[in-house]
Amino acid sequence: MAGQIDKISVKTGKISHVIYIGNRILDSLFEKDEIRNADKVAIVASSRVFEIHERYIRSAIQHMNEPEIFLMADGEENKNYRYAEMFLEDFLAKGLTRQSVVIGIGGGVVGDFAGFLASIYMRGIRVIHVPTTLLAMVDSSIGGKVAVNLSAGKNIVGSFHQPSMVVTDISFLHTLDDAEFKNGLVEALKHGLIGDRSSVRIFESNDTDSIRDDKVIAQLITQSASFKAAVVEADEKESGRRAILNYGHTIGHAIESLSGYKDITHGEAVALGMKVKLAVSKKLGWLTDDDIKRIGVIFKTYDLVRKDVSFAPDEIIAHMQYDKKNAGGKFNFVLLKGIGNPLYNQQIDEKVLYEVLEESFG
Ligand SMILES: NC(=O)c1ccc[n+]([C@@H]2O[C@H](COP(=O)([O-])OP(=O)(O)OC[C@H]3O[C@@H](n4cnc5c(N)ncnc54)[C@H](O)[C@@H]3O)[C@@H](O)[C@H]2O)c1
C-alpha cells in the first residue's frame, strides 16, 4: 500500500510535469492519464532490475494498454547508438505509434537510453522515467538530458527531451548495493554544496546506516530533486547557471578517464573532484578552514573520498585538456564562494590548479 507521495512540479518552457516520490507507488501511478491515454506502452527496463523486481513490475503494469517489455542489458557500454537502433527497429515491429509512451525503468544508463529512444522515435514520443538507483532519483531522471555514447566519447549523441512524468519509487533502493548507493549520495552532496542547504543538514544529522532509512532517504531525494528541478527550470538548455551542476565533474571525469573507467566509481571520482575544488576555493580565500572541516566530516562519515588512490597532477591536467568545459589555456570551473554559493565560468590558472592537485595527491 502506498503511503505519502511527495510531488515536485517541473516547468520547462510552456510545459510541466510532475516528479512523484514515495514508497511502493508504482501501481497507483501507472494508472495515471499520462499512461492510460497511450495506445501502446514500451517498458524499457534494465535486465538486472527486471530480474530482481519482475513480480512487482508485472503487477504494476498489468492494467496498461498493451505493454511490451524490452529488456536492456546493463552497463554503460550498452548505452550506445547501435544498440539504440535495434530497439527502434523493435519499437516499429511491435507497432508503437506517435501515441505510444516509453517507460524507462532502471538507473541512469536506462533512463538516458530510453529517453534517447523516445526523443527520436517518430520525431519524438513521450517518456516516463522510473529511476531505480539513487543517482537516477536525485539527478539523471531530472532535467531532460538524454543521450547515448559513441566510441569517441560519452553522451555525444543526444538531446533535451523532458519526461511527461517521473515515478520515483524508493522501494527499489532496498536492493541497491552500497557502492551504487554511494554514487547517488555524492550527487546529492554536490547539490548540497552548490546551494541545497537542507540536504547538507540531512547529511550532517545521519550516518551511513540511518541515511538508508526509508523516511530519511525519501526526504533527501525530495530535497535534492527539488533543488535540481529548480536549477533546470531556470536554465533548461544550460546556457548559464545550469553549469553549476557540473561541480566536481571536470576533475572527476579526468580521474575516471585516467583510471580507464575501472577501479574507481563515478561517485568516488566526483568526490575527489569536489575535494580538489574545495581546496581551490580555500586557496582563493573563498572558503574558511571551518567550511573545509565541515564538509570533511561528511566525506568521512559516508566514506566518500578514496585515500588509497593517487594521481600525478600533470596527468590529471592532460586528461582535462580534452574536456569540453575548458577554454583558452585556463580552466573554466564552477567554484564555491562559501558553502551553498557556486560561481560558474571561473577562470583558474593552470599553476593554481597544479599546486592544489599536488597538495591533494602528492
Ligand atoms: N541525463 C542526465 O542528466 C544524467 C545525469 C547524471 C548521470 N547520467 C548518466 O547516468 C548513468 C549512470 O547512472 P547510474 O549511476 O544509475 O548507473 P546504472 O544505470 O549503470 O546503474 C548502476 C547499476 O545498478 C543496477 N541497479 C539499478 N537499479 C537497481 C536496484 N534498484 N537494485 C539493484 N541494482 C540496481 C544496474 O543494473 C546497474 O548494474 C551514466 O550513463 C551517466 O551518463 C545522466
Catalytic annotation present for 253: yes
Q: How confident is the model at residue 36 (pLDDT cuts 50, 70, 90)?
A: confident
- pLDDT the model gives residue 33: 83
The atom of ligand 1 lying closest to the CA of 136 is 16
Tell me how far the alpha carbon of residue 184 lies from the centroid of ligand 1, in angstroms. 9
Q: What is the DSSP letter of 21?
A: E
Is residue 45 in contact with ligand 1, taking CB distance under 6 Å? no
Contact 139, 114 (CB under 8 A): no
Is residue 76 in contact with ligand 1, taking CB distance under 6 Å? yes
- pLDDT the model gives residue 321: 67
- CA-closest residue to ligand 1 atom 39: 74
- pLDDT the model gives residue 164: 96
As a whole number, mean pLDDT of residues 57-76 equals: 93
pTM of the model: 0.97
Closest by CA position to 18, among listed 188, 199, 108, 142: 142
Interval 109-166: pLDDT, tens: 999 999 999 999 999 999 999 999 999 999 999 999 999 999 888 999 999 999 999 9
- pLDDT the model gives residue 251: 95
Measured over the CA atoms of residue 85, residue 86, residue 91 and residue 93, the dihedral's sign is: positive
Q: What is the DSSP string of 218-253?
A: HHHHHHHHHHHHHHHHH-TT-SSGGGGGGTTHHHHH
Tell me how far the alpha carbon of residue 313 lies from the centroid of ligand 1, in angstroms. 29
Interval 150-208: pLDDT, tens: 988 899 999 999 999 999 999 999 999 999 999 999 999 999 999 999 999 999 999 99
Catalytic annotation present for 266: yes
The answer on pLDDT for 327 being more than 60 is no
- pLDDT the model gives residue 225: 98
Interval 82-100: pLDDT, tens: 999 999 999 999 999 999 9
- pLDDT the model gives residue 29: 86
Q: What is the DSSP letter of 351?
A: H
Cell 552532496, residue? 189
Catalytic annotation present for 187: yes
Q: What is the DSSP string of 100-120?
A: -EEEEEESHHHHHHHHHHHHH
Catalytic annotation present for 242: yes
Tell me how far the alpha carbon of residue 348 lies from the centroid of ligand 1, in angstroms. 32
Interval 221-257: pLDDT, tens: 999 999 999 999 999 999 999 999 999 999 999 999 9
- pLDDT the model gives residue 328: 63
Tell me how far the alpha carbon of residue 156 lies from the centroid of ligand 1, in angstroms. 18
Domains, in order of start, for the chain: 6-175 (3.40.50.1970), 177-362 (1.20.1090.10)
Average per-residue pLDDT for the chain: 95
Catalytic annotation present for 58: no
